[in-house]
Structure 1
């Protein structure tokens, strides 16, 4: 007779699965096997608690994204590895969520360090405080606070971890991170979000790792815009505030015939090609995100993008090109071929520009961009690389 697995068995099974995709340190693995996630998700079925998926803890009636959730465990683990917590570290977490992540951080910093977690939502902060107390982590400091302000009363910190999506690096955080300290945050630029691990060196943050991810955005940053290309709002372009997008002109071009160009790069069924997007953002200001809904695909309003909900897009005036994937039988190990679909008067040239990004990625598929960030208010000259200016910081990308 089959017995229902215990919480401990499910927890260890989940960590075993995470190890298959994330290279865990011994300390992070120990923390994941120690902290009872079910304590922080009361009322949630144990199988859902220990599935590698996000769990919403507070809905957002006014928008499509939740106000707060428990993040995907494998992403939590990956970011903890990036953070590289040492025993005795003082840590600030932005976005308290369920309190589970703060408990993991408390395990990592052990008894000689400190953990401060903050959340702008009073219900979420209260939930985190209650659950942390219930789990025996009373020493974690929980504050109801705007994450963009941080928690200067316990600063400076050796580590800052953001568990919410950021469009910019808040100026207030610089004074709260020690020299040599690490900042890990889901940072959004040109329509994609990367979990970036950075070390502070004076007035510069320098990355040594990044990985594609997705997070609930922080409240108070609004640097991204959305433009509908058709009247029923089923085809959209998401772009940053410094990018000019003429939705009417692009929508008019969409009614014309598309151009389709294939690259020489092929991929397997489980092989990621997200590096194409990252590569393109280091090469110009024209990169945005294309979103195509199932209704638009069903009505054949547009050639199918590589990932309908989020595909890299190049925009130039009244023309645009985006990533596509086509199945071929030439190579059974890599049966899918990457390419570009484009619309508008400059469709052919834009498609070729996107193909160039695909080929550059294909020549060094595991290469990751180096990101340096400086405060926008500094006079420091940008180093070599492509610069993206935001309200409070400057991003420089190099390969």
Structure 2
């Protein structure tokens, strides 16, 4: 492909429009992030993309796909980049490492840390690193170090870092990311917990990390040593379940579960169509038994399950019982009400158990900030980890603490 012809004035106008939108929606709140995003010509990182795609406020530009069409590398949407930059709270003179690169974000970081700061950007994909090198040289940020490496071990030669910014989806926190941070240093990472990804801002406090912010997001998954695949379990009839954490699920108790009578219960919990339900999703993910995500083949016409969203439904498994969450419109058509369908020998009681989780969220956590998440090293004793739930991963023990809204 050949480069798209670019009108510099149009690029400047589109860039300003993006920043104006992000200020209006509350994503950009600091003058430094605003100035950096107004200055860096991000379109030069994706020369084959039309300007309106390069400057789409809420959409990433895919730069590499796998043989089956899955995105392997991208330039993140401006909204996501601004969100993470605000979480990182970067200051002049900071030493920062970025894991996952395509150029523009490293340039934003360089603007924020200034001439007295240091920026290192790393990618496991040599193509992504080469694109970043070209972009940074072309735009005047050649002082940024670009490395091709697996991020799992960090970059010890330039540590310690005041901030680590991760722009790929991570399932766990490699020890090097914490160990190479200064005390009080910030780690910004899209972390997947029980199938749900949030970009978290963490602060190092001794041997652990404590969350300071969290936002819903989506990222290309991490490759290399710390890549992680979800466990997929088929129930038949085009229905599949995805499990992300915990022990491997034994599928045998669920054989024929969809042939049992369906139990149905409604919670009385209603939400407006534009209400943010991110905390409900996370509450069920961390507090409901056997949490997973259900998807139904789009070509399947089965009436056994009737999800509100065939591609993504909150679900749970307990022994031979299976349940999923759905919604229905309220009589006034202004809101939706949450309900539960369940199958299995104890389907009715399991439906009530999942429904009670939804009711607990509605009573105690709706409108709140979400959970406090802390990352402890693997091997930390239970009595040293406060919280409502501990989720064990390869390198970490993740503590999730809910407080009433």
Does the alignment pair 1:74 with 2:79? yes
Q: TM-score, structure 1 length as denominator?
A: 0.92
Q: Cα distance, 1:193 vs. partner?
A: 0.8
Does the alignment pair 1:65 with 2:66? no
2:318 alignment partner in structure 1: 316
2:254 to 250, 255, 267: 250
Q: Distance in 2 between matches of 1:137 and 1:5?
A: 22
2:97 alignment partner in structure 1: 92
Does the alignment pair 1:383 with 2:389? no
2:307 alignment partner in structure 1: 304
Aligned residue pairs, count? 390
2:292 alignment partner in structure 1: 288
Q: Is this contact kept in 2: 1:160–1:177, CA < 8 A? A: yes
Q: Cα distance, 1:64 vs. partner?
A: 5.5
2:167 to 163, 169, 178: 163
1:326 to 328, 338, 342: 328
Q: Cα distance, 1:390 vs. partner?
A: 1.0
Q: Is this contact kept in 2: 1:227–1:247, CA < 8 A? A: no
2:59 alignment partner in structure 1: 53
Q: Distance in 1 between matches of 2:148 and 2:277?
A: 39
Q: Is this contact kept in 1: 2:246–2:391, CA < 8 A? A: no
Aligned pairs for 1:90-129 within 5 A: 90-96=95-101, 98-129=102-133
Distance change (3 Å), C-alpha of 1:119 and 1:29: same
Q: Distance in 2 between matches of 1:237 and 1:350?
A: 17
Distance change (3 Å), C-alpha of 1:248 and 1:145: same
Name the SS for the 2:92 alignment partner.
Answer: coil
Aligned pairs for 1:351-390 within 5 A: 351-363=351-363, 364-367=365-368, 368-379=370-381, 381-390=384-393
The one-character-per-residue Cα deviations of 1:89-117 (angstroms, maximum 9, x if unpaired) are 11010101x21111111111111111111
Name the SS for the 1:106 alignment partner.
Answer: helix
The one-character-per-residue Cα deviations of 1:153-197 (angstroms, maximum 9, x if unpaired) are 111100001100111100222221111000010111211111111
Q: Cα distance, 1:280 vs. partner?
A: 2.1
Runs of 4+ in 1 over 6 A off after TM superposition: none
1:16 alignment partner in structure 2: 20
Q: Cα distance, 1:299 vs. partner?
A: 3.7
Q: Cα distance, 1:247 vs. partner?
A: 3.2
Aligned pairs for 1:161-240 within 5 A: 161-219=165-223, 220-231=225-236, 234-240=238-244
Distance change (3 Å), C-alpha of 1:39 and 1:22: same
Distance change (3 Å), C-alpha of 1:72 and 1:153: same
Q: Distance in 1 between matches of 2:75 and 2:8?
A: 24
Distance change (3 Å), C-alpha of 1:137 and 1:310: same
2:37 alignment partner in structure 1: 32
Name the SS for the 1:148 alignment partner.
Answer: helix
Name the SS for the 1:29 alignment partner.
Answer: helix
Q: Cα distance, 1:274 vs. partner?
A: 2.5
Q: Distance in 2 between matches of 1:5 and 1:335?
A: 44
Q: Distance in 2 between matches of 1:384 and 1:268?
A: 30
